[in-house]
Amino acid sequence: MEIMLDMSIEIDGIDDFLNEEEVKDYIEKVLTKEYESESPVYLSLLLTGNNEIQVINREYRDKDQPTDVISFAYHETEDFDIGPYDTLGDIVISIERVFEQAQEYNHSPKREFFYVLTHGLLHLLGYDHIEEEDRVVMRAKEEEILQSFGYTREM
């Protein structure tokens, strides 16, 4: 069954290098394959910079440094559904870190963005990487999803 997705994308002071429809389509396809819901699914996506994500990282994770992605999975603590929606949570991505990591790993910013987005989505779906065995499963799922969309490391 195809997921009906309602989402908000907020771009906070970052040049828009992505097509919002492409991002939404990607998320819908990933959720359709990886998640079952009878209700429309809602999530929010904030694209921001290193300074802003560092504040969020410090406030919510006690880590005073920028990071690439932070996910707030609402189903981890309680069902936080709003109205008719199955509310998955929030994903915050530092576009600055995406560009830095793309250069560091020698692939395109677009591939890095979709890797980070996939990582954040999988956290919303309950995946984790704290334990080694969980990390192996999550990394394999990330690569499977990215490969299925053609977002390879060579990109």
Sign of dihedral through CA atoms 20, 70, 97, 144? negative
Does the annotation place 107 within a ligand binding site? no
pTM above 0.85, yes or no: yes
Q: For residue range 108-155, what is the model confidence (pLDDT) as tens digits?
A: 899 999 999 999 999 999 998 888 998 999 999 999 999 999 987 765
Q: Which CATH number fits domain 5-148: 3.40.50.300, 3.90.1150.10, 3.40.50.800, 3.40.390.30?
A: 3.40.390.30
Place of tokens 């963005």: 113
Does the annotation place 119 within a ligand binding site? yes
pLDDT band with cut points at 50, 70 and 90 for residue 38:
confident
Does the annotation place 123 within a ligand binding site? yes
pLDDT band with cut points at 50, 70 and 90 for residue 14:
low
Determine the 3-state secondary structure of 128 from DSSP. coil
Amino acid of residue 54: Q
Over residues 83-98, mean pLDDT? 90
Average pLDDT, the chain: 88
Q: For residue range 65-81, what is the model confidence (pLDDT) as tens digits?
A: 999 999 998 876 666 66
Alpha helices in 78-131 (DSSP H): 95-105, 109-124
**Distant-in-sequence, close-in-space partners of 73: CB < 8 Å, separation ≥ 6:** 88, 89, 123, 124, 125, 126
